[in-house]
Structure 1
Amino acid sequence: METHPPLAGPFALGTFSVGHGAPFPGLLVGSGVLDLRTVPELRIPPGATLTTLDLLERWDSVLPVLHRLAESGWSGRHELADLRVHPPVRPHQILQSGANYRTHVVDLAVAHEPEGGRPAERVRAETAAMMDRRAAEGRPYMFVGLPSSVTGPYDDVVIPSWCAKPDWELELAAVIGRPAHRVAPEHALEHVAGYTIANDITARELVFRRDMPEIGTDWLRSKNAPTFTPLGPYLVPAAFVPDPGDLRVTLRLNGEAMQDESTEDMIFDVARLVSYASQTTELLPGDLVLTGSPAGNGMHWGRLLRDGDVMEGTVTGLGLQRNTCVAEEA
């Protein structure tokens, strides 16, 4: 029997369906899932379809209802094993963090150094010094992802025919529950409804515009193909994750651990990332703030994704996602 890691807290929120039926928001308690469309307190106007995003837009009033439901001792209307698990939320916006794990940035700098360039030891030392300066200046590096790249936690990841170097990047993702605009770091976590897992698949050969080096990076093509952001399986309320800076991020490729690092290695923590993003844009309920990926991606190992590979990603207390890579035919 398949074993999944335990979730933090007594319940989680997700999006499910019976087979190919309509997705619905569900409350997961143990192995049971309650269809939240059946809860009178959560209903929306007739003719509308209740989604997890609707619940996040009313998070302050919805969360106490979820607590009462979880404590009421109801038996799940569905068994989790009988359901399909979808991305827990369909976000309006995805804010992504780059170069946010110290060891990961150092490893990437070494991997991207041209053949015959600077010695690895020098690259590591110079990059480590740069990380120290960044942490002191307090300026994260963030960019925007497309919601159309999101796929389910157990869906296939399709490697496009044009993608030569697909790579994995498992990340902790914060899910916004209250609108956030120009919030200070000390108040930023008050706007986070919960946490989930994201895998930020990247076409490594397209990250840098070699035809226009003065322009720099091309995040559109390198990160936003359909299925390039597996998300979930669930949204675990923030109250059950007391310290997002002390979680283990682990990715296994065909059973072998490739990434296995603590979020303590982040240069900028969740609060600083949410605050920084909110200085420019208004973060909305359901939006995702991806916090960067730790060391151990394919570029580090010299082994990139192939047709048939199986990725298994876990973050402490947030569950497990499993995605099979499928090569698109040319």
Structure 2
Amino acid sequence: MTSSSDGLTAPFALVRFRAGDAEPVLGLVAGERVRPIGPEELGAPDLNAFLAQAPGSWNRLAAVAERDDDAWLPLADVALTAPVTPRQVLQTGANYRTHVIDLVAAGRAKNDPRPIEELREWAADMMDRRAREGTPYFFIGLPAAVVGDDVDLVLPSYSDQHDWELELAVVVGSEAFRVDREHAMEHVAGYTIVNDVTTRDLVFREDMKEIGTDWYRGKNAPGFLPTGPFLVPAPFVATPGDLRLELTLNGETMQDATTSDLLFDLPALIAGASQNMPLLPGDLLLTGSPAGNGIVHGRMLRDGDVMVGAIEGLGAQTVRAVAEESTR
């Protein structure tokens, strides 16, 4: 077991971890140490109830992080898994300006006579108009797809078009229902990292193109939402609208951007997502993925690939891809 807090700059963060063969438990990381925490330390029966009281509830854990007792374990001796257990996962599509422009250029029709630069200019105008006049585009993910990076990413054998999408994820604090932009950030408990894995050739229905996208098949295979390993308290992330994201594939940088390229910022996303259904404590709201996906690089995930996704101040996750074993 080789857990590490590399890239984590917060004084403390929440995790879920396993020591040996034991079941995962909630834990508090401070530096290179971790300790189990329960209802007594949380001041709440479980994690989601604790998050419902954020940001004030974080003060309880500040005192725990300063304790000097025998409850601490070396972080390197445990395995970290997904730090949250969301009831809902909301995802944001087409929310990085450069990402969408790249996708338009990469996916242009073969019989489109327009030069690439003209296509890019058209896509840029479309995105700028959407930012001025449009609203965020949301779809639903399955909480069952949320796993830690301690679990290998099994690439389903029904496709060879599995792609990566590194994303900043908001962890919801107090329930948010029909909130406005001005008060939206009051409902953020913290942030974590998610790799929103996508099977590209299943996103659009070939048998009925008029129906549009099929996010269920394209994004919700087992383990397709590697999450964490840290849940970083919102008070420790001063500028969520300007964080650097980087994803490497076998050591080569594929995605390198900042959240300043978001088409709709975090207040707009939280407010928009809360209009028709309450966002519940512990829920995940993914904010979109920047440019640099495999479809643009012409390189999809293969057996043995290793992805490292890092977001400034939130640490990093390492996801290993393995081919699905044949059942034939």
Tell me the TM-score normalised to structure 2 length.
0.94
Find the residue that maps to 2:57 and give its secondary structure. helix
CA distance in 1, matches of 2:169, 2:142: 15
CA distance in 1, matches of 2:145, 2:180: 30
Tell me the TM-score normalised to structure 1 length.
0.94
Find the residue that maps to 2:99 and give its secondary structure. helix
- Letter of the 1:71 partner, please give it: E
- Letter of the 2:191 partner, please give it: Y
Q: What's the C-alpha RMSD, in Å, of the aligned pairs?
A: 1.8
CA distance in 1, matches of 2:12, 2:5: 15
- Which one of 90, 98, 102 corresponds to residue 93 of structure 2? 98
Matches within 5 A, 1:36-47: 36-37=37-38, 40-42=40-42
**Which residue of structure 2 aligns with residue 236 of structure 1?**
232
Give CA-to-partner distance per residue, 1:227-251, whole Å, 9 cap, x none: 1000001100000001111101100
CA distance in 2, matches of 1:60, 1:236: 12
Matched, 1:85 2:80: yes
Matches within 5 A, 1:175-214: 175-214=171-210
- Letter of the 2:195 partner, please give it: N
Matched, 1:64 2:59: yes
Shift of 1:61: 5.4
Provide closer, same or farther for how the CA distance between residues 60 and 171 of structure 1 changes in structure 2, counting only shifts above 3 A: closer
My pick for the range that moved more, 20-29 or 309-318, is: 20-29
**Which residue of structure 1 aligns with residue 325 of structure 2?**
329
**Which residue of structure 1 aligns with residue 242 of structure 2?**
246
CA distance in 1, matches of 2:22, 2:166: 29
Give structure 2 stretches of 5+ with no counterpart.
none
Matches within 5 A, 1:250-289: 250-289=246-285
Total equivalences in the alignment:
324
Matches within 5 A, 1:44-59: 51-59=46-54
Matched, 1:32 2:33: yes
Matches within 5 A, 1:86-235: 86-117=81-112, 118-235=114-231
Tell me if structure 2 keeps the 8 A contact 1:5–1:317.
Answer: no
Give structure 1 stretches of 5+ with no counterpart.
45-49
CA distance in 1, matches of 2:23, 2:50: 17
Find the residue that maps to 2:267 and give its secondary structure. helix
Give CA-to-partner distance per residue, 1:242-281, whole Å, 9 cap, x none: 1111101100000000000011011111111011000111
Tell me if structure 2 keeps the 8 A contact 1:24–1:51.
Answer: no
Provide closer, same or farther for how the CA distance between residues 73 and 272 of structure 1 changes in structure 2, counting only shifts above 3 A: farther
- Letter of the 1:12 partner, please give it: A
Shift of 1:290: 0.2
Q: Percent identity?
A: 53
Give CA-to-partner distance per residue, 1:78-117, whole Å, 9 cap, x none: 1111111110001100110110001000001111112232
My pick for the range that moved more, 187-196 or 64-73, is: 64-73
**Which residue of structure 1 aligns with residue 24 of structure 2?**
23
CA distance in 1, matches of 2:256, 2:300: 17
Tell me if structure 2 keeps the 8 A contact 1:8–1:236.
Answer: no
- Letter of the 1:129 partner, please give it: D
CA distance in 2, matches of 1:84, 1:270: 31
Question: Which aligned runs of 4 or more in structure 1 are off by greater than 4 angstroms?
Answer: 1-4, 73-76
